[in-house]
Amino acid sequence: MAYTEAQKQAFAELAQDRSQRDALAKLLVEYIKPNHLTGQFMDLLLKTRQLQPGDALVKKLRKGIEVRTLVPGSSHLASEITVTERMNYILDGADVKVTFNEWELERGDIGSLSEIRSEMNAKLADYYFNKVFTALTTVWTAANTPNNYTSLGTNVTASSLEDAIDEINYRGGGAKLVIGTQRAMQPITKFAGFWAPTTTAAGTPHVAIPSAIEEVKANGFIGRYYGVELMKIPQIWDNPEDYNALLPENKILVIGHDVGEFITYGPERTKQWTDMNPTPPQWFLEIYQQFGMIIDNAQGLYVIGVTPS
């Protein structure tokens, strides 16, 4: 995009005045909201909370409350309440940092600040989502459980998806979501518009569901199957040149309720400075934040390994 002289002059006026550098940084900081992005994306997978420094980083379990049969005239036993520390958060950090040559700032060559903010925004959102989604898809493998993992070597099938949902309904407090990349999830549309009775092999089209077929024809996808919401997520690429996929396309997750929690610890913090050693000086803005996650109900996760064709 080519910028007009008026646009370049506006960028330059803001950058040339050192007293306005805080305003320049504030424009960037206000757009990058890890907590907001975390809430939008992570709520699909895990509960989210924002903790502040000093808040406990431990999840505790309270137990010991019991109900006993009432016996008239008796002094009943009391239950002693005990609290155990079940697990604690391990904090990690996310960092976004940009720098510009001061001549570029003063000439207005950096272009639109909204473009810079958008790229930083997207990178941070991709980072959080990729962290959580990858962690959830690697909790279970063929080596550590026969109940919560299956590897098909093919596209997802009706029988594998229904078995996964049944398992989470039984052990995970009810399935709330089936999620995967668009490429992994798309084959569901080929069997979701039909229902196969128990006398027919699972996945064999038998009874058509007109409303489901119309939804697939209109939207290219279906929103629910077997009583559970389906969600396909677009693939995330590192950049247009290298074009490396960041989300695993060979896994579909069936998620139950209260699987775990994602937290941010404290607000996003900023650093802004000018390095006067090089000539011309170099201007920097850095934003960073701590975050962590706990998966304390792994029985509420089912991983379907697929090989999209």
The pLDDT value recorded for residue 106 is 73
When pLDDT is averaged across residues 101-113 and rounded to a whole number, the result is 71
- CA–CA separation, 79 and 65 (whole Å): 6
Which structural domains are found in the chain, ordered by start? 5-60+84-305 (3.90.1690)
Name the pTM for this structure. Answer: 0.70
Two structure tokens written together for 141? 């493998």
- Predicted pLDDT of residue 17: 62
Which residue matches tokens 């084959």?
187
In this predicted model, what pLDDT tens digit does every residue of 123-158 receive, in sequence order?
A: 777 788 888 888 888 888 878 877 899 999 899 998
Q: What angle do CA 13, 19, 21 make, to 5 degrees?
A: 70
pLDDT of residue 27 exceeding 60: no
Name residue, tokens 């089936």.
178
Residue 174 has, within 13 A of its CA and on its CB side, a CA count of: 5
What mean pLDDT do residues 291-304 have? 89
pLDDT(117) > 90? no
- Residue 202 confidence class, pLDDT cut points 50, 70, 90: low
- 49-58, 133-142, 189-198: which range is least confident on average? 189-198
**β strands within 104-248, DSSP E:** 149-151, 175-181, 194-195, 207-208, 224-225, 228-233
Query: Please, how many CA atoms are within 13 Å of residue 190, restricted to the half-sphere of its CB?
Result: 11
Who's near 203: CB < 8 A, 6+ residues apart?
157, 158, 159, 191, 196
State the pairing for strand pair 228-233/224-225.
antiparallel
Determine which of 131-135, 207-211, 265-269, 272-276 has the lowest per-residue pLDDT on average: 207-211
Residues 186, 188, 190, 192: is their CA dihedral positive or negative? negative
Tell me the average pLDDT across 16-33: 53
**Tokens (6 digits) for 243:** 């074009």
What mean pLDDT is predicted for residues 67-93?
84
Mean pLDDT of the chain: 78
1-15, 55-69, 84-98: which range is least confident on average? Answer: 1-15
69 CB burial (10 A radius; 0-12, 13-18, 19+): exposed
- pLDDT attached to residue 110: 67
At residue 9, the pLDDT reads 64
Binning pLDDT at 50, 70 and 90, where does residue 45 land?
A: confident
